[in-house]
Structure 1
């Protein structure tokens, strides 16, 4: 399988996944995670620039929670599943909507055992949380 085939396979995964370098730049993203954006609007940009905190919510802590989780992967050299986390996302009109996610993070190691990237995946559980009185 060549690199292009692998990239097509990754992009087609029917789930929300990002691959981040250690400066938190997005180096790969599944089509599902693009949510209607062009790939070149996302790849090469910071996770926290593409998915900022809701500027209208002074209590927003999504980026701080995410940064702590990514740092935990580096510190522990292990992946983990996070508890359900609120991280509002802007819709196509730029209006932030309350969203709840079940995130997972997994390190990618090079041949010497050093972490080179982190795979970050999220499952949108907003409907489930809302049904429980969120």
Structure 2
């Protein structure tokens, strides 16, 4: 039996997941999180460059909340679920659309107990939040 291709398995997870290095560069991303983007246009770039704040929203705070949450993983050496966070994303035409996400962050440790990466996952809860009148 052949060994599983873990990169192919990760990419095929039907959910939005990124693996980030400690400079917050994307080292892996699921196909679902890629959307219409090409993998080689995303991998190796900063999470905050690939998913910037909405430039048309002066109150946008998604990247600040995300950066603080990722830093918290390093400080506490533990994963956590973030509160629902508004983080608009650009559609295929580059137009930002309002989205609400339920993010989760989890550290990845090496054999000596040092954090090497952070797994960042998000569930789009826009429809649920919108139904509640956000």
Q: What TM-score do the two structures reach when normalised by structure 2?
A: 0.97
**Distance in 2 between the 1:29 and 1:6 partners?**
12
List gaps (5 residues or longer) in structure 1.
none
Deviation at 1:132, TM superposition (A): 0.6
Q: What RMSD in Å do the two structures reach over aligned CA positions?
A: 0.6
How many residue pairs are counted as aligned between the two chains?
132
List gaps (5 residues or longer) in structure 2.
none
User: Which of structure 1's runs of 4+ aligned residues deviate more than 2 A?
Assistant: none
Deviation at 1:31, TM superposition (A): 0.2
Instruction: Name the structure 1 match of 2:114.
Output: 114
Instruction: Name the structure 2 match of 1:71.
Output: 71
**Distance in 2 between the 1:53 and 1:37 partners?**
17
**Distance in 1 between the 2:99 and 2:108 partners?**
27
Q: What TM-score do the two structures reach when normalised by structure 1?
A: 0.97
Instruction: Name the structure 2 match of 1:31.
Output: 31
**Distance in 1 between the 2:34 and 2:80 partners?**
23
User: Superposed, which structure 2 residues align to 1:1-134 within 5 Å?
Assistant: 1=3, 5-134=5-134
**Distance in 1 between the 2:126 and 2:35 partners?**
16
**Distance in 2 between the 1:14 and 1:92 partners?**
20
